[in-house]
Amino acid sequence: MRLSQMLFVTLREDPAEAEIPSHKLLLRAGYIRRISSGLYAYLPLLLRVLDKISAIVREEMDATGAQECLLPQLQPAALWQESGRWDMYTKAEGIMFTLGDRRQQELALGPTHEEVITAIARDMIRSYRQLPLHLYQLQTKFRDEIRPRFGLLRGREFIMKDGYSFHTDTDSLKQTYDDMYVAYSNMLRRCGVAFRAVDADSGAIGGSGSTEFMVLAEAGEDEVLYTADGKYAANVEKAVSLAPEAVPSPFKTYEKRDTPNTPTIASLAKFLDCSPTQIVKNVLYQVTYDREPEGEQSVLVLVSIRGDQDVNEVKLQNALTNLAADYGAATVLALEVPDAENQAKWAAKPLPLGYIAPNLADDYISPEKAKAAGIAPKFLRLVDETAAPLENFVTGSNESGYHIVGGNWGAEFTLPSHRMDLRKAIAGDRAVHDPNQTIQTARGIEIGHIFQLGHKYSTAMGATYTAENGTEVPLEMGCYGVGVSRLAQAAVEQSYDKNGIIWPVAIAPYHAIVVVPNIGDADQMAAAEKLHDELNAAGVETLLDDRKERAGVKFKDAELIGIPFRIVTGRSLKNGKVEVVKRAGGDAEEIALEAVVDTLKDWVEAAVR
Ligand code: ATP
Ligand code: MG
């Protein structure tokens, strides 16, 4: 391909809209153009990268016996109502684009395809003899992200490979899940990116076990906690660890103390000259549940946790989802810390903010106001594992300016029956599997996520099969997603220098670029064209920079777009040689014209093995 014939526009300056290196570089090098928030045109060079990633994904998927299909992007609302996810995706997360057709039927643009595939399985899978089965597709997904940003990393339209497997039992599901773990690891290794597989939260998709594949990069939106022995790695949303030991409390008797201006843990610990590990902190949340058909129900939640610890809101949301049935609901629509405006909707009297005790009385909730506002009349009380074992602790007194010291569960305070792990694990904690291991932190970009779904969707949508013993049983399911367009940019985020992108050879849009310093020199042009043609014929995908530009501009552009091997038909041509420069590392050597094709072929083959 000749650059003179391509839509080839590079920018010298960093575009103002881009915050992180990979986004800047893809824009500057002419791989993408922004059309609107979270919407990008994939220009010809990027499309080649996407095609290469897709080819690797297909090879690894096909090798496991999965079959490719293509499902509709327009999905009827009725399917999402059957699975019970319509409200969550349109209201709670609000991530699904919806539209109506000419017959006033509601439709959505697919953010994911569990519903569609389960409907197909319900119709087509009759017998255990058809199982296991695994279908996947590569397709554009649509999500109305709250904060589309970082270019292709968080778009509103992006390319995903999503696969769904069906099984008779959990052993078979586990087998495919393990196969996917290997396939995903292979895909990322072959794409030339450094990654880590981590335990993950299953979020809105649901189900039990899940693993995320993180491409390690400072700009990543996710935090990964891990141990140096390689035995533990988890998304911070899901991570568990051992909190530091609590310091035994010096307050031997129960007492109410005057503690003016101590609404924070730090100010209180300083005032009482005690350790934050001796304090029970009580944090107020408000959860909104979705109830059918009565409508929304809010509940005020009081979480008691050790003073030096923070609540992990993902763990809290999962705990509240597990408790939803107690309120006649199935899903959590929202979880927030109620602000003053919100408190006014239900509080019978001003709350002792900063001085709340675990036994904050239910009469702080006005029954009349709460009823009108759709709020439960009693607090839901939860206690974190770090706060439950404390003795003689410090906590609020429910009166501004005063705290309790020497408090005890089972004496002055009732230990909430809902006791669970709600704390945020952090770097520096000790690991659960080996307390001698210290938890470390890294940033990552989530590229893939594999789930064991179980029978959540098949039960909700009535997707059953006839088992060997003749009974009708819901299908066991797994689902597996990888962000193809996100991966293209993540690879850049991991591999660039001040001059531009450094593509891994396996996913570079072209392997080589022949640069002609002076197109007016007939010998240079002839040699370059011959090399270009021969390299392409030999399977070394090669560009020819035959533009009427200064040599310096061409060299800069070749570096910016990140082509792995640059061949220059310059001065050394007189000796029958060309200069070949490796983009990664910058090594340059002169190679005889007749050896170029074989050498490059070897290099490319070695790099993509
Ligand atoms: P995130 O937490 O980053 O929003 P997710 O948990 O919503 O991701 P999944 O629903 O598991 O993601 O989707 C599978 C894969 O699709 C992700 O691992 C990611 O690579 C990709 N992906 C998800 N959302 C986007 C997006 N807005 N833009 C680009 N890729 C995305
Ligand atoms: Mg998401």
Tell me the two tokens of residue 594: 């007749």
The domain containing residue 536 runs over which residues? 510-607
Please indicate whether residue 144, judged by its CB atom, sits closer than 6 Å to ligand 1.
no
Gap from CA of 193 to ligand 2 centroid (Å): 21
User: What is the CATH classification number for the domain harbouring 351?
Assistant: 3.90.960.10
Question: 224 and 275: one domain?
Answer: no
Cα 206 vs. chain centroid, distance in angstroms? 15
> Closest ligand 1 atom, CA of 112?
10
Gap from CA of 483 to ligand 1 centroid (Å): 6
Gap from CA of 72 to ligand 2 centroid (Å): 20
Domain count, the chain: 3
Report the distance separating Cα 470 and Cα 75, nearest Å. 33
- Ligand 1 pocket, mutate which of 446, 482, 485 (most atoms under 8 A from CB): 446
Question: 335 and 276: one domain?
Answer: yes
Phi, psi of 263 (to 5 degrees): -75, -10
Indicate whether 217 pLDDT > 60: yes
The reported pLDDT for the residue numbered 55 is 98
Q: How many C-beta atoms lie closer than 10 Å to residue 591's C-beta?
A: 17
Higher-confidence position of 208 and 529: 529
Least confident of 96-110, 189-203, 426-440, 550-564: 189-203
The reported pLDDT for the residue numbered 423 is 98
Report the distance separating Cα 396 and Cα 479, nearest Å. 46
Question: 101 and 54: one domain?
Answer: yes
Question: 384 and 340: one domain?
Answer: yes
Phi, psi of 195 (to 5 degrees): -145, 170
Find all residues with CB under 8 Å of 577, minimum gap 6, and list them: 590, 591, 592, 593
Question: 211 and 276: one domain?
Answer: no
Indicate whether 572 pLDDT > 90: yes
Tell me the two tokens of residue 12: 């010298």
Closest ligand relative to 314 C-alpha: 1
Report the distance separating Cα 46 and Cα 41, nearest Å. 9
Closest ligand relative to 449 C-alpha: 1
User: What is the CATH classification number for the domain harbouring 59?
Assistant: 3.30.930.10
Cα 97 vs. chain centroid, distance in angstroms? 20
Question: 532 and 578: one domain?
Answer: yes
State pLDDT tens for residues 485-528.
999 999 999 999 999 999 999 999 999 999 999 999 999 999 99
Question: 520 and 569: one domain?
Answer: yes
The reported pLDDT for the residue numbered 88 is 85
Report the distance separating Cα 55 and Cα 46, nearest Å. 14
Gap from CA of 275 to ligand 1 centroid (Å): 41
Please indicate whether residue 484, judged by its CB atom, sits closer than 6 Å to ligand 1.
no
Report the distance separating Cα 398 and Cα 358, nearest Å. 9
| Residues shown for the chain | 609
Asked if 298 and 288 count as a contact pair (C-beta separation under 8 A), the reply is: yes
The reported pLDDT for the residue numbered 265 is 97
Please indicate whether residue 486, judged by its CB atom, sits closer than 6 Å to ligand 1.
yes
The mean pLDDT of the chain is 96
- Ligand 1 pocket, mutate which of 37, 147, 449, 487 (most atoms under 8 A from CB): 449
Nearest CA to ligand 1 atom 14: 481
Nearest CA to ligand 1 atom 8: 446
> Closest ligand 1 atom, CA of 203?
6
Residue 183: inside a domain, yes or no?
yes
Gap from CA of 182 to ligand 1 centroid (Å): 20
Please indicate whether residue 483, judged by its CB atom, sits closer than 6 Å to ligand 1.
yes
Gap from CA of 425 to ligand 2 centroid (Å): 22
Please indicate whether residue 201, judged by its CB atom, sits closer than 6 Å to ligand 1.
no
The reported pLDDT for the residue numbered 204 is 55
pLDDT-based confidence at residue 201 (cuts at 50, 70, 90)? confident
The reported pLDDT for the residue numbered 203 is 67
pLDDT-based confidence at residue 290 (cuts at 50, 70, 90)? confident
Q: Could you identify the residue written with the tokens 């650059």?
A: 3
Q: Please, what is the end-to-end C-alpha distance for the chain in angstroms? A: 25
Indicate whether 208 pLDDT > 70: no
DSSP characters for 515-557?
A: E-S-TT-HHHHHHHHHHHHHHHHTT--EEEE--SS-HHHHHHH
The reported pLDDT for the residue numbered 605 is 97
Closest ligand relative to 155 C-alpha: 1
Indicate whether 559 pLDDT > 60: yes
Q: How far is CA 219 from CA 19, 21, 156, 314, in A?
A: 10, 9, 19, 21
Question: 173 and 137: one domain?
Answer: yes
Residue 15: inside a domain, yes or no?
no
Gap from CA of 176 to ligand 1 centroid (Å): 21
Least confident of 33-47, 48-62, 207-221: 207-221
> Closest ligand 1 atom, CA of 155?
28
Residue 263: inside a domain, yes or no?
yes
Residue 137: inside a domain, yes or no?
yes
Beta strands per DSSP E along 147-205: 157-167, 195-199
Find all residues with CB under 8 Å of 380, minimum gap 6, and list them: 287, 299, 300, 301, 302, 323, 418
Question: 86 and 228: one domain?
Answer: yes
What secondary structure letter does DSSP report for 152? G
Report the distance separating Cα 511 and Cα 508, nearest Å. 6
The reported pLDDT for the residue numbered 564 is 98
Gap from CA of 104 to ligand 2 centroid (Å): 29
Strand partners, 448: 213, 482
Tell me the two tokens of residue 354: 């900063």
Residue 35: inside a domain, yes or no?
no
Percent of the chain exceeding pLDDT 70 equals 99
Write the single-letter amino acid at 242: L
Gap from CA of 488 to ligand 1 centroid (Å): 13
Gap from CA of 447 to ligand 1 centroid (Å): 7
Please indicate whether residue 449, judged by its CB atom, sits closer than 6 Å to ligand 1.
yes
Mean pLDDT of 297-307: 97
Question: 281 and 152: one domain?
Answer: no
User: What is the CATH classification number for the domain harbouring 530?
Assistant: 3.40.50.800
The reported pLDDT for the residue numbered 207 is 60
pLDDT-based confidence at residue 120 (cuts at 50, 70, 90)? very high
Residue 9: inside a domain, yes or no?
no
pLDDT-based confidence at residue 206 (cuts at 50, 70, 90)? low
Residue 4: inside a domain, yes or no?
no
Report the distance separating Cα 596 and Cα 535, nearest Å. 8
Please indicate whether residue 114, judged by its CB atom, sits closer than 6 Å to ligand 1.
no
pLDDT-based confidence at residue 82 (cuts at 50, 70, 90)? very high
Residue 590: inside a domain, yes or no?
yes
Tell me the two tokens of residue 422: 């709600």
Least confident of 84-98, 414-428, 482-496: 84-98
The reported pLDDT for the residue numbered 21 is 97
Closest ligand relative to 237 C-alpha: 1
The reported pLDDT for the residue numbered 322 is 92
Question: 481 and 557: one domain?
Answer: no
Question: 383 and 358: one domain?
Answer: yes
Phi, psi of 385 (to 5 degrees): -55, -25
Q: How many C-beta atoms lie closer than 10 Å to residue 321's C-beta?
A: 18
Q: How far is CA 227 from CA 33, 202, 234, 432, 548, in A?
A: 40, 22, 10, 10, 54
The reported pLDDT for the residue numbered 294 is 85
pLDDT-based confidence at residue 295 (cuts at 50, 70, 90)? confident
Mean pLDDT of 153-179: 97
Q: How far is CA 332 from CA 291, 327, 375, in A?
A: 9, 11, 14
Mean pLDDT of 172-178: 96
Helices (H), 237-355: 265-272, 313-322, 340-343
Q: Quick one: which H or E segment has residue 184?
A: helix 170-191
Please indicate whether residue 448, judged by its CB atom, sits closer than 6 Å to ligand 1.
yes
Gap from CA of 448 to ligand 1 centroid (Å): 8
Indicate whether 292 pLDDT > 90: no
Please indicate whether residue 162, judged by its CB atom, sits closer than 6 Å to ligand 1.
no
What secondary structure letter does DSSP report for 10? -
**Peptide bond just before 293 cis, omega within 30 deg:** yes
Asked if 342 and 370 count as a contact pair (C-beta separation under 8 A), the reply is: no
The reported pLDDT for the residue numbered 291 is 87
Tell me the two tokens of residue 365: 């909730």
Please indicate whether residue 113, judged by its CB atom, sits closer than 6 Å to ligand 1.
no
